[in-house]
Amino acid sequence: MTQSDSLFPNDSMDIDTSSVKLLDLFDMRELQQIQDAFSLATGVSALITDSDGTPITRPSNFTGYCSLIRSTPQGLARCMQSDAKLGLMNPNGPIFARCHSDGIFDGGTGIMIGDRQIGNWLIGQVIDEPIDEEVIRGYARDLGIEEDLLAQEAKKIPHMPRGQFEGICKALHVFGSQLSKQALRILQQRRHIKELQRVQLDMAESEERYRALVQRSSEAILLIEPDTRQVIETNRHFQELLGYTETELQGMKVYDLVEDAPAAVDRYYDEILPIQNELPVELRPFLHKNGQVVEVERTGAMVHLQGKKVYMVTARDVTERRMIEEKMHFLSFHDVLTGLYNRTYFEEELTRLERRRDGAVGLILFDLDGLKLVNDSFGHEQGDQLLVRTAELIHGCFREEDIVARIGGDEFAVIIRDASPEIMEEAIARVYAEVSGLRDREQRIPLSLSAGYSYAGNKKVVMKDLFREADNNMYREKLHRSQSARSAIVQTVMSLLEARDFITEGHADRLQGMLTRLARAAGLPESRMIDLRLLAQFHDIGKVGIPDRILLKPGPLSPDEMTEMKRHSEIGHRIAQSSPDLLPVADWVLKHQEWWNGQGYPLGLSGEHIPLECRILAIADAYDAMTTDRPYRKAMTREAAIAELRRCAGTQFDPIMVELFIQVCHEQAEQ
């Protein structure tokens, strides 16, 4: 960002901001309206506070869960610690973190004036996965809150994907930055007005200083001769506002610069100004040199210059503010991720249809099958992309006049006027055909939808009953489709894992041989060998959800990267649980990274609490890794690898199984 693009211009340093507070510059009702609109549009809770954390506005959309926590001194202290961290000004973006109190998502941005913070805009109180109930109950006991009450309120906390909430935090930072800009402009304008008023009292003595002040002002200023309506002087900001040079503006008349009719302009000068001597702040259309209309916030007053009365116009371009207002209005009724109408608009439309006089209405509900599995396997970014693809597909299958909305995390709704059962069934068939065609054309995460519809042929049907009927029909359909959808996604995961096997040069095949030999030596029955071969092939299936930049990194992983890598056991467990073929090894997939001494992950199991199959896999997997070339090192010799296994026996590995594995290796070598 260049200096000219900075949020805080250099001349802000001339202003004393040490005693300025947020409410000195903004009306609390306007701040409340902005905050409420943002909360309504995004579905998050919101609060604007003073720089010391004292609330200025009423909380918007606060959850009962957080209200209960804040009702206790200890809970309030923790919340204020989080608020202080979230409210820090960060010019590079919003602050995004989990709350100190309980792990829910919060975000925030500072409101600045110059280099001093005068307020905080805080949002949050959403989660991307349920909070463990035992943790909640323990937390309630710590704070002296009734356990059942806090647990009940926790279930009501809105769910939101992490990527969606981060996007909302970025939007918050933009709006917070605009408030910071506006605060500085207001303070500058007040400073300039005071300066101009002071100069006006002593014009004869300081006319040159007055002219210099006009030129240095951050506002666009125009001086007009009242009788002739001719331009006397303009400053640089006014010239940039309308695209003229100073020379071009000299001698032009005000009629050429505004969209108002000449008669309306004359009325200002002949009737209003002689009586009032100044004009209130108004939104007025000015004309750019290129012919386009520029909407400005304009005010004016009569001042004295060289002993004569002149009309001084101060103008501010409000295009940017208009764009923000339009965006806020759009967000009030549209889903941030997909651009479709949101649940607020959908419910208002149902209320309007409740009052209709005639006409049939149809309602179709769609549910995206397997979204949670996609999020768990591939990450929320891929899940968001799948939601966007789904929204585009559904929207493209309906008419412009049909209302298509995203009403939940994986739910979409379509309202069709003048509908019939035949029209509804044809529409659903059209969507299913597009889904089928998409599967055939694209080798990506398979898209699967369940649908249900309801139809009201007369105005007597209550829209809530119509929604309930469509919802029930949709969930009956989902019962038939959900398992096949999960299976298709798991098959995609398996294909991706097989495609990545070239990196490990037959790692799974070698493991199968080592595992079965060691398992037989350990006395496991032949009936377990099939499952062991599955474990050898798919124990790392969760790595499809780990970014390639981590998975394929040639050198050692950083602590943060290692934390991310450790998630693959839990991701793999969720994937295996969704597949009938892999369900027998799902528990082993979860526990295959546990250590004999309890220092492994994710559960910290130790000794014989770790399944024998996992202990066998850990030894064979480590041996194969050590005796295979890697991008960042050459393979160890068989003797060096065996020595390393013995060194780690009793800590990482089962010591008895290590010796048995070494015996099997020697026998294999002799053969």
- pLDDT tens-digit series, residues 169-205: 888 888 888 888 888 888 888 788 777 777 666 654 5
> Higher pLDDT residue, 216 or 270?
270
Whether residue 486 is predicted with pLDDT greater than 80 in this model: the reply is: no
> Higher pLDDT residue, 215 or 515?
515
> Higher pLDDT residue, 545 or 456?
456
Q: What is the pLDDT of residues 437-464, one digit of tens each?
A: 876 666 567 778 889 999 888 767 788 8
Residue 200: inside a domain: no
Q: Give the residue from 484, 401, 480, 392 showing the smallest Cα distance to 431.
A: 392
Average pLDDT rounded to a whole number, residues 158-168: 87
pLDDT at 594: 95
Do 9 and 149 share a domain, yes or no?
Answer: yes
pLDDT at 88: 65
E strand or H helix that includes residue 622: helix 612-626
Do 150 and 26 share a domain, yes or no?
Answer: yes
Find out whether 584 and 534 touch, Cβ atoms under 8 Å: yes
Q: Which residues pair with 113 in a beta bridge?
A: 116
Average pLDDT rounded to a whole number, residues 311-324: 78
**Distance of alpha carbon 27 from alpha carbon 102, whole angstroms:** 34
Q: What is residue 312's DSSP assignment?
A: E
Find out whether 286 and 296 touch, Cβ atoms under 8 Å: yes
The token pair that represents 538 in the structure block: 């798919």
Do 548 and 603 share a domain, yes or no?
Answer: yes
Do 266 and 355 share a domain, yes or no?
Answer: no
Residue 53: inside a domain: yes
φ and ψ of 421, to 5 deg:
-55, -35
Do 8 and 136 share a domain, yes or no?
Answer: yes
Count of alpha carbons within 13 angstroms of residue 631, beta-carbon side: 9
Whether the bond between 421 and the residue before it is cis, its omega within 30 degrees of 0, is no
Q: Which residues pair with 633 in a beta bridge?
A: 630
pLDDT at 87: 62
Do 90 and 134 share a domain, yes or no?
Answer: yes
Residue 3's pLDDT band, with cuts at 50, 70 and 90, is very low
Do 473 and 571 share a domain, yes or no?
Answer: no
Q: Give the residue from 549, 550, 575 showing the smallest Cα distance to 493.
A: 575
DSSP assignment of 576-615 equals: HHT-TTTGGGHHHHHHTT--TTS--SSS---GGGS-HHHH
Burial 35-45 (b: 16+ CB within 10 A, else e): bebbbbbbbbb
Task: Determine the 3-state secondary structure of 651 from DSSP.
Answer: coil
Whether residue 7 is predicted with pLDDT greater than 50 in this model: the reply is: no
Residue 198: inside a domain: no
Residue 338's pLDDT band, with cuts at 50, 70 and 90, is very high
Average pLDDT rounded to a whole number, residues 328-354: 88
Find out whether 608 and 646 touch, Cβ atoms under 8 Å: no
Find out whether 31 and 121 touch, Cβ atoms under 8 Å: no
Average pLDDT rounded to a whole number, residues 471-478: 84
What's the CATH code of the domain at 400? 3.30.70.270
> Higher pLDDT residue, 7 or 309?
309
Whether residue 49 is predicted with pLDDT greater than 80 in this model: the reply is: yes
Whether residue 239 is predicted with pLDDT greater than 80 in this model: the reply is: yes
Residue 26: inside a domain: yes
Do 317 and 345 share a domain, yes or no?
Answer: no
pLDDT at 13: 44
Q: What is the pLDDT of residues 68-77, one digit of tens each?
A: 888 888 888 8
Stretch among 45-54, 214-223, 546-555 having the lowest mean pLDDT: 214-223
Whether residue 433 is predicted with pLDDT greater than 80 in this model: the reply is: yes
The token pair that represents 30 in the structure block: 């306007």
Do 130 and 223 share a domain, yes or no?
Answer: no
**Distance of alpha carbon 57 from alpha carbon 29, whole angstroms:** 8
DSSP assignment of 109-160 equals: EEEEETTEEEEEEEEEEEBSSPPPHHHHHHHHHHHT--HHHHHHHHTTSPB-
Residue 553: inside a domain: yes
Domain count, the chain: 4
What's the CATH code of the domain at 506? 1.10.3210.10
Residue 624: inside a domain: yes
Do 102 and 49 share a domain, yes or no?
Answer: yes
What's the CATH code of the domain at 149? 3.30.450
Do 623 and 639 share a domain, yes or no?
Answer: yes
Whether residue 505 is predicted with pLDDT greater than 70 in this model: the reply is: no
Whether residue 111 is predicted with pLDDT greater than 80 in this model: the reply is: yes
Residue 11's pLDDT band, with cuts at 50, 70 and 90, is very low
Stretch among 406-420, 423-437, 459-473 having the lowest mean pLDDT: 459-473
CA distances from 164 to 69, 322, 333, 381 (A): 25, 25, 16, 9
Last residue of a domain, one of 133, 160, 188: 188
Among residues of the chain, what percentage have pLDDT more than 90? 19
Last residue of a domain, one of 153, 188, 223: 188
Range of the domain at 77: 3-188
pLDDT at 250: 84
Report helix angle 133-143 to 73-86, nearest 10: 110
Average pLDDT rounded to a whole number, residues 237-248: 87
What's the CATH code of the domain at 305? 3.30.450.20
Do 125 and 30 share a domain, yes or no?
Answer: yes
Q: Which residues pair with 456 in a beta bridge?
A: 361
Whether residue 470 is predicted with pLDDT greater than 60 in this model: the reply is: yes
Last residue of a domain, one of 444, 471, 496: 496
pLDDT at 2: 36
Whether residue 165 is predicted with pLDDT greater than 60 in this model: the reply is: yes
Q: Give the residue from 180, 43, 166, 181 showing the smallest Cα distance to 108.
A: 166
Average pLDDT score over the chain: 82
**Distance of alpha carbon 542 from alpha carbon 540, whole angstroms:** 5
Residue 329: inside a domain: no
User: Is the pTM value of this prediction over 0.85?
Assistant: no
